[in-house]
A and B are shown apart, each in its own frame.
Chain A
Amino acid sequence: MSWTSFDTWIVVAGALCAVACALPGCFLVLRRMSMMGDAISHAVLPGLAAAFMITGSRTSLAMFIGAAAVGVLTALFTQWISRFGNVDRGAAMGIVFTTLFAIGLLMIRRAAGRVDLDPGCVLYGAIELTPLDTVALGPLEVPRVVVVMGMVLLLNLAMVGLLFKELRLSAFDPGLSDTLGFSSRLLHYLLMTVVAVTTVAAFEAVGSIIVIAMLIVPAGAALLLTHRLVPMLLIACGVAAVSSLMGHWLAIEVPSWFGMEATNSSGMMAVAAGLLFGMAWLFGREGGLVARLGRGARVSKEIDRAPRHGTEREESRPLP
């Protein structure tokens, strides 16, 4: 296979999206709200459709604002339904995002004559096309997506950097956070806004599947590898960036095994993140499966070696 500057740009765009998602993703995972990214990325459809129908154009800004607003609304509705209706938060989330998604589909279909908005495009994205749409940045022709995602990444870095202690506190102990004067609800909605903005910015460029995956998978992998928050954030960013590179490579390489052309890179980036998670799962220092099996074997050996009173072999079964 031949690697071109095209491929480099695709990987850079993917990595920027991935890292931008991994940062807030860590806090989502810690707050047990991993599915929020999935919910928001489906639910923004009516926002996109409405923005398009009102302004009649596909300019990014209107779509961006519409989608981000609906994204925040998703979080708000979920919160309301689960609080006022006493509904399990997962279920509330599911109700909200499927309904919004359905409304979005209906809106798009009703306006099908005028709207060139393919819901499939929202899900898969078209990361392969990113290098075609460039802006001049000084002497360099940079893909627009890279610029946009670079800015989003900076925004997320700024949030995590500035509000690190507040985010950590409110995720760990919302009650204490409130009694200390850091409103956990405010922080919750701030995080949701950031997630919505990131989601919308990213899927316009690369499709929502990367967003959903990168909000959860790197954070999950990092949580298996460390007990500290700062290393967790760093590992998550690393996993995110590596899966972008690996995913693109897989997207070119794997189909060729079957004699097919390159496939969708976004999907493969998610798969790559999953593979990295699998490695962390298997070989992680503590929770790792291999370490666990090893420990199990060691324990049973020790029991074997220990002086036995009875003669029954059952005593040497590995401890659960």
Chain B
Amino acid sequence: MWWNRTFVPLLLALLTLPCAASDGGFGWVDVVLLRTHNTWVVVLSTAVLGVASGAVGSFLLLRKRSLMGDALSHATLPGIGIAFAVMTAAGGDAKSLPGLLLGATVSGVLGLLVMLGIGRTTRLRDDVAMGLVLSVFFGLGVAVLGMVQRLPDAAGLESFIYGKPASIVLDDFRWIVALAVIVTVVSILLFKEFKLLCFDDGFASSQGWPVLALDILLLGMVTAVTVIGLQAVGLILIIAFLITPPAAARFWTDHLPTMAFLSALIGGVSGWLGASISALTPDLPAGGVIVVVAAAVFLVSMFCAPARGVLGRWLRHARLRHKIGRQHLLRGAYEILEADQSRPGAPDNHAFPRAELQGKRTWTPHELGRILRREARRGHIEDLPGSRLRLTEEGFGEAARITRNHRLWEMYLVTHADIAPSHVDRDADMVEHVLEAELVQRLEAALRKQGAWVPQPRSPHRI
């Protein structure tokens, strides 16, 4: 089956890494630790590239322009073709890397200027400008390549589209490292400026920051990363390098420096791991493996990251619903007990019919049943025969506490209506953490003056 041919070797490669050393060729340890002579250049270049693009990509993601990398990388193609033709005509080494990269940079920057121009002078939105530059420049690139491919020595130009890390030699490596270091250093030096640009460009320009210049610099760095990535992973997969690591890093933190660092780390690790796996397995192009590794990191981050991950958010939301359900239930029960009293004061805890609780709020029997089961498990309430319910000692204390807090909070809303809604946390459960003790006492006094009863909890909990 086809998938066996694709993924089983990959899996095997991963699983048998520790014992692969015996297969005669170079072993995994040598590759991963960069000891093998031919591969360390490749693995290190992709890792360095991953670091640089991860750092720049963070700003791109926060500026909501992730796909600009896509557009810019496509926009480099005509430059490559034209540079090749020019160098052939000039009789030089038609495939000298610096020459081709210069061509790529020029056309990339041109694409960038067109993109910003469209954005600034028309009503068209960013996405249209990006798509336009991408497709028109790429079309031009395809046409130019179509023209020059009949020139002698043109074979291999299309490797810029899919990348061919194995072809990286020591000379190229120096270029890649130099550019990547420049890009990384510039993003560190201009960290504050880029942060401002991404967060609020309007404010930045009102403060006299040259927003356009910063934008051009940022996208220029993206172009630089793209250009050096062309040879390593190709112009399509470099896009993944710019987008996936920052997006993955975003799930783990809300702190921009941490995010940029994590993003660079994820980029570097994906490059290193991907290139290593590819070097160990025949017929797995490095570009593809690197992207798949980065995507795997992204997926894991998306689900498992505690700060912003999907599972964490679902859990928190479920917990919030449970908490609100519990508060409703216990307060409802407490109010029933209060209503059974003839005079205001601490009610005693006694059993009451379930139907009464049912009528207290708009919940379905099913819903109520679920909340009841949950609270029974927590030991807050117990089911008695004859459809009756009774709060446990602990549940009664908790109910008193919740009811008290709820009333205090309501009172607070009334007496401090102007500031309440903007207050940090509106959770009735949290009154004592949000308001100072003195204010709580004043609120209690205000409630008593209105003739309301403020339950004093008899619970082991401290209020």
Contact = CB atoms under 8 A, between A and B. Distances in A.
B146 A102 contact: no
B181 interface: no
B295 A94 contact: no
A271 B131 contact: no
B244 interface: yes
Nearest to B298: A95
Contacts of B212: none
A3 interface: no
A86 interface: yes
B218 interface: no
A126 B407 CA distance: 75
Contact of A209 (B138, B284, B308): B138
A209 B128 contact: no
B174 interface: no
14 contacts: A37-B131, A91-B61, A91-B67, A91-B246, A94-B239, A95-B244, A109-B288, A110-B5, A212-B134, A212-B138, A213-B136, A220-B124, A224-B123, A266-B142
B132 A220 contact: yes
Contacts of A287: 121-123
B162 A274 contact: no
Given A38-B134, A123-B142, A268-B143, A90 B284 contact: no
A287 B122 CA distance: 6
A81 B244 CA distance: 12
A250 B139 CA distance: 12
Interface string B146-159: 11101000000010
B135 A99 contact: no
Contact of B243 (A98, A266, A281): A98
Given A86-B308, A106-B292, A267-B142, A32 B127 contact: yes
Given A216-B131, A277-B136, A224 B122 contact: yes
B65 interface: yes
Given A110-B9, A207-B142, A209-B142, 4 more contacts: A37-B131, A87-B250, A90-B66, A99-B295
Given A38-B70, A270-B135, A273-B136, A99 B147 contact: no
Contacts of B141: 267
Given A271-B136, A281-B118, A95 B295 contact: yes
Given A224-B124, A264-B143, A105 B287 contact: yes
B67 A109 contact: no
Interface string B61-82: 1001111011000000000000
A108 to B, nearest CB: 9
B283 interface: yes
Contacts of A255: 147
Which of A54, A106, A123 has the most chain B CB atoms closer than 10 A to its own CB? A106
Interface in B270-301: 283-285, 287-292, 295, 298
A249 interface: no
| Chain A interface, DSSP helix/strand/loop, else mixed | helix
A317 to B, nearest CB: 19
A98 B122 contact: no
B62 to A, nearest CB: 9
Chain B binding surface, main DSSP class: helix
Interface string A97-133: 0110111011101111000000110011000000000
Query: Which of A81, A112, A260, A267 lies at the interface centre, i.e. has the most chain B CB atoms within 10 A of its CB?
Result: A267
Contact of A90 (B67, B85, B246, B291): B67
Given A109-B284, A209-B139, A260-B150, A94 B2 contact: no
A217 interface: yes
B44 interface: no
Contacts of B131: 34-35, 37-38, 212, 215-217, 220
Contacts of A92: 247
Interface of A: 29, 32-35, 37-38, 42, 49-50, 53-54, 81, 84-88, 90-95, 98-99, 101-103, 105-107, 109-112, 119-120, 123-124, 207, 209-210, 212-213, 215-217, 219-220, 223-224, 250-251, 254-255, 258, 260-261, 263-264, 266-271, 273-274, 277, 281, 287, 289, 292
Given A105-B162, A105-B285, A93 B67 contact: yes
A245 B164 CA distance: 36
Contacts of B246: 91
B143 A263 contact: yes
B161 interface: yes
Nearest to A96: B295
Q: Which of B128, B141, B143, B302 has the most CB of A within 10 A?
A: B143
Task: Please name the 8 residue pairs, one residue from A and one from B, whose CB atoms are nearest each other, closest first.
Answer: A270-B139, A274-B136, A267-B142, A53-B2, A267-B143, A264-B146, A98-B240, A102-B291
B302 A85 contact: yes
Nearest to A93: B67
A124 B138 CA distance: 10
Given A271-B136, A287-B123, A102 B292 contact: yes
Contacts of B295: 95, 98-99, 102
Given A38-B70, A94-B240, A216 B128 contact: yes
Nearest to B289: A106
B6 A110 contact: yes
B138 A270 contact: yes
Nearest to A263: B146
Contact of B237 (A102, A213, A274, A281): A102
A88 B236 contact: no
A91 B66 contact: yes
Contact of A271 (B2, B127, B139): B139
B67 to A, nearest CB: 4
Nearest to A223: B124
A109 to B, nearest CB: 5
A130 to B, nearest CB: 16
A84 B122 contact: no
B452 to A, nearest CB: 41
Nearest to A281: B122
Contacts of A119: 162
B6 A33 contact: no
B61 A88 contact: yes
A281 B114 CA distance: 11
A23 B131 CA distance: 16
